[in-house]
Amino acid sequence: MNRKLEILKKFIVFSLTSVAGTIVDLGLHWLLSEYVFDGSYWGSFWIAPTISFELATLTNFFIAYYWVWKERVSKPGSMRSLVRHCVAYNATCIGGYIIKLAAMQGFHFLFVSQGWFQDLSVEPVLCNMLGLCFSGCFNFVMNEFVIFNKAKVKK
């Protein structure tokens, strides 16, 4: 199959399966911002997204490992393989998380400066969702070309 077409198909599958992590991330972020850190900038824009992003990362890792890139996992039943891939996946997600936080803060300051979505409990979640768009693209590239790199699989 054409390599560009293969990458496009993987990107589509990755994007569709990332919905699970997005639901975990946005849902947990909203719950934490609304009920645990209500009214706290640091809680809603730093602590809540950190917690929700890590749980979403684990959700997406298991989907990626066992479904999206399963044919590229050299020893699928091995605990060593699972842990090695999970550590690498989590490490690259930290880069994605930094991108997400930067975008999230940028959108928050844009919304504040324009007076948009202020005094709404969904504003942190909206900023989070917009940030996820940037980090998602970064994470796909890291998964495709680093963590689950096709050349690394030995048959």
Render pLDDT for 3-42 as a digit per residue (tens, 0 to 9): 889 889 989 999 888 899 989 988 999 999 999 998 888 9
In 3D, which of 143, 115, 142, 111 has the Cα closest to residue 127?
111
* pLDDT of amino acid 153: 47
In this predicted model, what pLDDT tens digit does every residue of 122-154 receive, in sequence order?
888 899 889 988 888 899 999 999 898 876 445
Query: How far is residue 2's CA from residue 11's CA, in Å, rounded to a whole number?
Result: 14
Q: What stretches of the chain show up as alpha helix (H) in DSSP?
A: 3-31, 41-42, 48-63, 79-114, 123-142
pLDDT at 107: 94
Q: For the residues 71-98, what does the mean pLDDT come to?
A: 89
Burial of 12: CB neighbours in 10 Å, binned 0-12, 13-18, 19+: exposed
123-142 and 48-63 are packed helices; what angle lies between their axes, rounded to 10 degrees? 40
Q: Please tell me whether residue 122 adopts helix, strand or coil conformation.
A: coil
Phi, then psi, of 5 in degrees rounded to 5 = -65, -40
CA dihedral in degrees (22, 28, 34, 40; nearest 10)?
-90
The string of pLDDT tens digits covering residues 93-126 is 889 889 988 999 999 999 999 999 887 778 888 9
User: What pLDDT sits at residue 12?
Assistant: 92
pTM of model > 0.95: no
pLDDT of residue 151: 61
pLDDT at residue number 154: 54
Q: Chain-centre distance of CA 5, in angstroms?
A: 23
Task: Indicate the DSSP class of residue 150.
Answer: G
**What is the C-alpha to C-alpha distance for residues 29 and 85, in angstroms, rounded to an integer?**
26
User: Rounded to the nearest 10 degrees, what angle do helices 123-142 and 3-31 cross at?
Assistant: 150
pLDDT-based confidence at residue 48 (cuts at 50, 70, 90): very high
Helix pair angle (79-114, 48-63), 10° resolution = 140
Q: Is the pLDDT of residue 49 over 60?
A: yes
pLDDT of residue 53: 86
